[in-house]
A and B are shown apart, each in its own frame.
Chain A
Amino acid sequence: MGIAFVKKDPNTTIPAEANGVASLAATFDTDTTSGNLLVGIGSTFVGSGTSPTHTYSDNKANDWSSLAVHQLSTSYTLSRASIGYSAGITGGASHTITLTPASTCDICLGVAEFSGVAASSPISGTPVGAGSSSTAVSSGATTPAANALYIGASCYNGTSRTFILNWSSATELHNEASTSYATLGSAYKITSGSQTAAWTLGQIENWACCIAAFAEAASGITQTSVISAAASVPTHTAVILYPGSVIPTITL
Chain B
Amino acid sequence: MANVLATQSRVGDWTSSAAVLNQAGRWRVSLIGIPTAEFEDTARSITLALELSSDLVMWREKYAIRWVGGHYVGKDGTINPPPTLTVDLTPYIGQRARVTGSVPIATTFGIDLTRL
A interface residue numbers (CB < 8 A to B): 10-14, 16-27, 29, 94, 96, 98, 104, 181
CA of A19 to CA of B80, assembled, Å: 11
A-contact bits for B23-67, CB 8 A (1 contact / 0 none): 000100000000000000000010000000000000011111111
Residues in A neighbouring B7, C-beta threshold 8 A: none
**In the complex, chain B residues 44-102 whose Cβ is within 8 Å of any chain A Cβ:** 45, 60-68, 70-72, 81-88, 90-91
A27 touching B65, Cβ below 8 Å = no
CA of A15 to CA of B72, assembled, Å: 23
Q: List 15 A-B contacts (CB under 8 A).
A: A16-B87, A18-B84, A18-B86, A19-B81, A21-B65, A21-B67, A21-B84, A23-B66, A25-B65, A26-B63, A27-B60, A27-B62, A96-B64, A104-B68, A181-B86
Residues in B neighbouring A20, C-beta threshold 8 A: 67, 71-72, 81-84
A12 touching B90, Cβ below 8 Å = yes
A18 touching B65, Cβ below 8 Å = yes
CA of A170 to CA of B66, assembled, Å: 33
Ordered nearest first, which 7 A-B pairs have the shortest CB separation? A12-B88, A17-B86, A21-B65, A25-B64, A14-B88, A18-B65, A22-B68
CA of A14 to CA of B87, assembled, Å: 7
A16 touching B91, Cβ below 8 Å = no
Residues in A neighbouring B87, C-beta threshold 8 A: 10, 14, 16-17
Output the least CB separation between B32 and chain A (Å). Answer: 13
A13 touching B88, Cβ below 8 Å = yes
Output the least CB separation between A2 and chain B (Å). Answer: 27
Residues in B neighbouring A96, C-beta threshold 8 A: 61, 64
